[in-house]
Amino acid sequence: MQFLLLCALGLALCGPSVGQNLSVNPNWREPSTSRSLAQRIAISQDAINLMMQQLDASNGQFANIGYWQAGNVWSVMAIQDELTSTQANKAAVVNNLDLVFGLFSNYDQFGCGNVPFIFNDDALWWATAAMYGSKAYNSTQLLSNAIATWTSVSRFQITQAEAQSGSHPLKSFPIEATCDGVTMAGGVFWRPTSEDTSVNSITTGLFMTLSAYLAEQTKDPKYTDAAVQSANWIKAHNLNTNSIVLDTVSAADCSRSPSTWIFTYNSGKFIEGLSVLANITADNQWNNLMLSVIASAVENTAWQGSNGIVTEGSDNSQNNDGIGFKAVYIRGLREAFRRTPHNAQLRTLLRGYINVQYNALLELAANGSFYSAGWAGPQPSKFTSWGQLAALDVLTAAVEVN
């Protein structure tokens, strides 16, 4: 996720469209599956078990993938147990998430001294994994880890007072009170280093989503307030005219990342957070916004083919961040499915879209229980940790949506 802000673009931003299309695209490849629940659970757990062979027990990470990606392996393992009402992965998830929290204060991999390579989003990926683990296993220790990390990162969410004053106590430069006439309050700085100006959607979306989960779990209104502020920041500053989430805004001068920086995980994490926020606030604006982002995301040609198969991060020769992005995207769609039992049309759409990815993985990109990073194929000749990482959320999501 080490993208740098390159240039300023004059983008026209607007709110979500009205009357979004939630019908299944007839051109999508195989939007249904006949596999039984038992088969789907076995397929996803077999893939998890194979991934576990890559674990480095000394640091809770996995061979050949990055720190943030490793956190997402623990996330999907906890989710698998929660939705199957089992504890097959509990010991590994709880022990390793606690191990890493002990190794790296507040899950910050570079948390000693003023090191220039530290990222708030890295800490939030792991804190979110701890949140999933807390929910799955009723673990007070993992909840405590998530809260501690949230508290640390919360210092980098721009408050209304900081925006109005044009300064942030942990930044060495003046910040803009508004961009495009809208307050910068609610945005979360990507990096905690004093000189970095970037406020981006993934860090803000992660903070928003973790805040919403914590509000749901603890009933503390400070988490709800934080989630609403971050949701409003993305809504005001980082949605394009098609309701696709953009990447970065500079708090120093309001310059923007290129409009071509369209990544699945920005929209996916925003969708997940909105689904939780809509539940805990009963404010229909968040549900309506979520529907608009979903309707655009599942038809976005920037990251998928006309057959509906996601193509982002498909290079199987080496790991790259994009491979992990699309797993986060599918996870967000699955959470939206879970939290909208009343919306049959949306659930049909999400079930179909997730099944498109599921069937592509199993039929075009599988070699036994391991998978290619390219979901449209070809089948991999050897196991890769990055291909397996990307597949896990699809396999687990298919357990729930069918």
The owner of tokens 């039929």 is 363
- Residue 324 in this model has a pLDDT that exceeds 60: yes
Mean pLDDT, range 208-220, rounded to an integer: 98
Are the beta carbons of 361 and 371 closer than 8 angstroms? yes
Alpha-carbon distance of 279 to 261, in angstroms, equals 30
pLDDT in tens, 154-174: 999 999 999 999 999 999 999
Domain boundaries along the sequence of the chain: 31-63+303-402
Query: 13-27, 130-144, 158-172, 346-360 — which is least confidently predicted?
Result: 13-27
Are the beta carbons of 135 and 82 closer than 8 angstroms? yes
Both structure tokens of 142: 């993992």
Both structure tokens of 14: 């607007």
What pLDDT, on the 0 to 100 scale, is given for residue 109? 82
Q: What totals of helices (H) and strands (E) does the chain contain, helices first?
A: 13, 8
Q: For the chain, what percent of residues have pLDDT higher than 90?
A: 92
Residue 391 to residues 74, 312, 397, Cα–Cα distance (Å) = 14, 13, 10
pLDDT in tens, 223-252: 999 999 999 999 999 999 999 999 999 999
pLDDT in tens, 77-121: 999 999 999 999 999 999 999 999 999 989 988 644 444 458 999
| Pairing relationship of beta strands 366-367 and 178-179 according to DSSP bridges | unpaired
Both structure tokens of 161: 């007072």
Mean pLDDT, range 28-49, rounded to an integer: 98
Residues 6+ apart with CB under 8 A from 125: 68, 71, 72, 75, 107, 206
Q: Degrees (nearest 5) of the Cα angle 69, 70, 73?
A: 95
Backbone angles phi, psi at 179, to 5 degrees: -130, 130
- Residue 5 in this model has a pLDDT that exceeds 70: no
What pLDDT, on the 0 to 100 scale, is given for residue 117? 53
| Pairing relationship of beta strands 55-56 and 61-62 according to DSSP bridges | antiparallel
What pLDDT, on the 0 to 100 scale, is given for residue 2? 36
Mean pLDDT, range 31-39, rounded to an integer: 98
Task: Say how many CA atoms lie within 13 Å of 84 toward its Cβ.
Answer: 25
